[in-house]
Structure 1
Amino acid sequence: MIDSAVRTRINALVRLNTTLLLREPGPVVSRLLMPLILITVLHPLYRAALSGSGNAAGTTQIVAGMLVMFSLLALSIVGSAILTERVWRTWDRLRVTPAASWELIAGKVVPSFVILVLQQVLILGFGALLFALPVRDVLLLATAVAIWVVTLLCIGTALGTIARSHSELAVFYDIGGLALTVLGGALVPLSLMPDWARALAPLSPGYWAMSAFRHALDGESAEMMRANAVLLGLAVLFGALASWRIRRGWGRSHLL
């Protein structure tokens, strides 16, 4: 059980970091609205192109693909929350408070967690309501969303501890995010990609996220959990990297 003092500190940190996010809502709004616009515009194209694979193949591809792409781009929100403390050199001030390091990280990631969940619920709900995205098992889909969000939080936190500036972080989530999106089959189905790209696809978290969402939408729990197991492994790996960087003292009034 978490005692009342810890809950009070975490709540205060969550409110603070939520306020910081809301003061510059542009990145959040773009990550929420842009996928909806692209789904609306590109849905007819994907549906026609993949009509031979089933009535819902194009809808599943565009909705799941936009979800994966823009959630990877939303790593900017998670990483920036960590990196800003380093740039402002305010981490030391937070460390001298009674809050433990894990409480400080929790205060950072909880607002990002809410945004990422909202983003994915919004995209999936939009696809289901407007384009008849087939959802056979809501619980499976919710599990896929939760595990993917945890993976994103761990990756984003690790990037925030590694990047030396906001411009360097932008390279990670812009170029890296788009590369992982394409390689993972989120924009173009893997069956249409060259052999070398299909061979490299499993290296992308986006590949496993697409697999998890496809199987969740189809109600295939065993296949979904295999993909989720890989995502959880990535979450542990990047979470361990972030923890190591934090223990190493990246926040103590210097950048690399």
Structure 2
Amino acid sequence: MEKEMKRRNLEMQLEYMESYLPKEIIAEYNLTTEMIRKYMLASAEPIVIEEKEVESKTATPIQFYVTSFIGIQLLFATMLTVGSGTLEEIQKGTLRRIVASPATAWDFLMGKMLSTFLVIMFSIVVGLGYAKLLFGETIIPSLLGWVIIFIASLFSMSLGLAIAMGTRSIKSTTAVVNFVSMPLLFLAGIVVPESVLPKWVRPIANYFPLGRALKDFRLLEIYKRSASEIAPDILWLSLATLITLIIAVVLYNWAVKRIEV
């Protein structure tokens, strides 16, 4: 009733304004009746309240543990497989024979990383299927989810290769990978939710590439966030992965040159 009375009152005022408002003022300020009408209606109801029901989505324990399993594969298995595998080929003399053959050391490196990626992807798929079979619940990654897994695995392989080429020893590589990965298992939010971490630890989960990748994967696949929300993070992950890969390649080339000598 009140709103309708205000509307009618404004309509009556507008009729008088059309009749008595000086033409020179209308021309000077470039006013129209419709502009004045919208302004007066808006001033009569300056605040518009809209109610919406928001339903929050929480992760089930199985969903969280499934993503933790993916993080563990990337944090331990991927780094150790590519790092120790490359050192084994060096110790066996395979890489020396590759250097002397028409095939390049790059062919060996790309093949080693591709085979590692396929093994890790198979392991992840088996783990996702096992969760569905045993618990009746799992996560089926979207296309963007697989892209995040690929970027994270490439970062992990690059980091593992860099550690291996820096230590030049399988035992040392295993020790360094465990020394680095074990704290990150908790501090990077892999097996412990970020919400329960101390405040001084949370930047590690947000900025360490594997922790950030797993967090974005959870936001995308569990909490159904849009791709546009995590797009800036994917750019950051890609840049960090590229830098780590360059460092690994430099160390790898250094190791190859030592073999040639």
Output the TM-score relative to the length of structure 2: 0.68
Q: CA deviation at 1:98?
A: 0.3
The aligned residue for residue 43 of structure 2 is none
The aligned residue for residue 73 of structure 1 is 76
Q: CA deviation at 1:244?
A: 1.0
Distance 2:131 2:68 in 1: 12
Residues 201, 56 of structure 1: alpha-carbon distance in 2 compared, 3 angstrom cutoff: closer
Distance 2:180 2:218 in 1: 23
Distance 1:87 1:141 in 2: 37
Cα-Cα RMSD: 2.5
Output the TM-score relative to the length of structure 1: 0.69
| TM alignment of 1:84-233, pairs within 5 A | 84-129=88-133, 130-133=135-138, 135=140, 138-217=142-221, 218-219=223-224, 220-233=226-239
Query: Does the CA-based 8 Å contact 2:76-2:181 persist in structure 1?
Result: yes
Q: CA deviation at 1:78?
A: 1.0
Q: CA deviation at 1:193?
A: 1.0
Letter in 2 for 1:185: G
Q: Which moved more, 1:99-108 or 1:242-251?
A: 242-251
Distance 2:139 2:73 in 1: 21
Q: CA deviation at 1:166?
A: 1.2
Distance 1:245 1:92 in 2: 16
The superposition leaves residues 189-228 of structure 1 with CA deviations (integer Å, 9 ceiling, x where unpaired) of 1111112211333342331121221123044312333333
The aligned residue for residue 59 of structure 1 is 62
Deviant stretches of 4+, over 4 Å: none
Distance 2:176 2:188 in 1: 16
The superposition leaves residues 27-86 of structure 1 with CA deviations (integer Å, 9 ceiling, x where unpaired) of xxxxxxxxxxxxxxxxxxxxxxxxxx8553423321111210232111111111111133
The superposition leaves residues 214-243 of structure 1 with CA deviations (integer Å, 9 ceiling, x where unpaired) of 123044312333333222222211210122
Distance 2:68 2:139 in 1: 15
* Unaligned segments of structure 1, at least 5 residues: 1-52
* Unaligned segments of structure 2, at least 5 residues: 1-55
The superposition leaves residues 152-203 of structure 1 with CA deviations (integer Å, 9 ceiling, x where unpaired) of 2222222221222111111222221222221111111111111221133334
Letter in 2 for 1:241: I
Residues 145, 206 of structure 1: alpha-carbon distance in 2 compared, 3 angstrom cutoff: closer
Residues 189, 62 of structure 1: alpha-carbon distance in 2 compared, 3 angstrom cutoff: same
- Identity rate, percent: 23
